[in-house]
Amino acid sequence: MIRRRLRSSTVVLGGVGLLAATLTACGSEPDRRCADRVTREELPSYECKGSGGSGSYYYGGSSHSGKLSGGSFDKSAVDRGGFGSSGTGGG
């Protein structure tokens, strides 16, 4: 029976790819949407750009019929996405 040996370059490249994927997933930002601070209605993204817009970024959560819930306007209060994370936060 002939044994096949993996080339060390194949093993190294596979390990580097896995490490890169892990670091990217763990460092990802939470989802953000533009929303009205009072009604939590989803707004077009241009409403959150610049000082003339009427919206603020809402992080995490979900949207149902144009209303956002389960997230927060405070980015630091929302869990970042990645392995073992639900992607939602308090608010």
Angle at 68 between CA 24 and CA 72, to 5 degrees: 60
pLDDT of residue 15: 62
Q: For 49-91, how does the pLDDT look when each residue is reduced to its tens digit (9 = 90+)?
A: 988 889 999 999 999 999 999 999 999 988 655 544 454 444 4
Q: Name the strand (E) or helix (H) holding 34.
A: strand 32-35
* SS3 state at 69: strand
Query: Is the pTM of the predicted complex or chain greater than 0.95?
Result: no
Least confident of 7-11, 36-40, 54-58, 71-75: 7-11
Q: With cut-offs at 50, 70 and 90, classify the pLDDT of residue 30.
A: confident
- Rounded distance, CA 36 to CA 56, Å? 6
